[in-house]
Structure 1
């Protein structure tokens, strides 16, 4: 009975019911790699302008970061990596203190300026024009990794793997409260206790963690910051 009803239904619907329906037209896919490349180029242009002084609306500290200065005091020099090195203020400082200083950044003009400043200072630094994703951190390579106003949230496992036992990671960024003062990129903003928990969970020993009010290295405004110094066992 069911078969007869089905045949009757197909007859009433006509021959088109037997035909395969055409597939919907394909929607052209947006190229993720193209979009990523465009975003990277926009970031490169932005930070080249800021770090070489062409863009004067964003002020920044051209001197070595105070937390970094304190963290390496009394430590024997070794191999150091400055993540998001910019115009090289911290990379050059590390080299002046006897460290074998490396750094990378997407801002190629800023890196050229860093090399010029290093030559004037009479020190050698090794630099790479690369993003976080492109740079090869290596395994048990560094005695020190500095991430100063350059993120740090997505880099935890790579930093841990790349540090030698006993090596330090030094991070400074903005506290969530700082976003009440001005607009800040989410990559350099951390919630209360977030940074400490991230690095502690990864196996680091926390040597110093603070969420103080202070003058941020970028913007040069008084706001709440996060500061971390941690050691790989």
Structure 2
């Protein structure tokens, strides 16, 4: 394998890469010298206290902000210049609240995932199949003609996942996706994420429920301005990283499901 081919293989394996990244708002530092790689097929749980820089890190990953120092790459390209949008699915914080005011149906939301694929404004048979398969995969086919605003928070989250699946995304990024969602719907939602990751989808999840993260994620990054830990959940629960990041006694709790 040539050096160029080897570099291409590494860049594709590393879906996301942070190299010595620092960022601040004016004089207030938010991230300091963060280096982190997320490989294809990973399910990364991103944890840390409020104000620790988790959402900012995701915004840098998405190319919505540029680092003050260091470099962020997405699928081997500078994140701020990445334009292959169909490879990326994003569910923002409080997305279910915003969706409650959307005057569109479930199917119309999922169709949005196919916009980068369609030809000259027309949906092809392949587009329609992808939409139907995405609706079926997250079990919302029976809701396809209902207004998104009339759904529960858990149902709306499944619709956003379906949109990403319709887009054939390789990376799904979620920022506290179950805020305001009932416990039963949360459990089903995280079981769905687990299954999608098992099928090969790379996932980055910001979540305050440490038990959920240690149960479902394949790796954990613990952040509070600096990166305190990045590794597997089993090692994480045996370290002091959580207490160090939160500045007190914090013990991960495993859920029984």
Answer with 1 or 2: which has the greater Rg.
Answer: 1
Structure with the bigger RCO (C-alpha within 8 Å, sep 6+) is: 2
Scaled by the length of structure 1, the TM-score of the pair is 0.29
**TM-score with structure 2 length normalisation?**
0.27
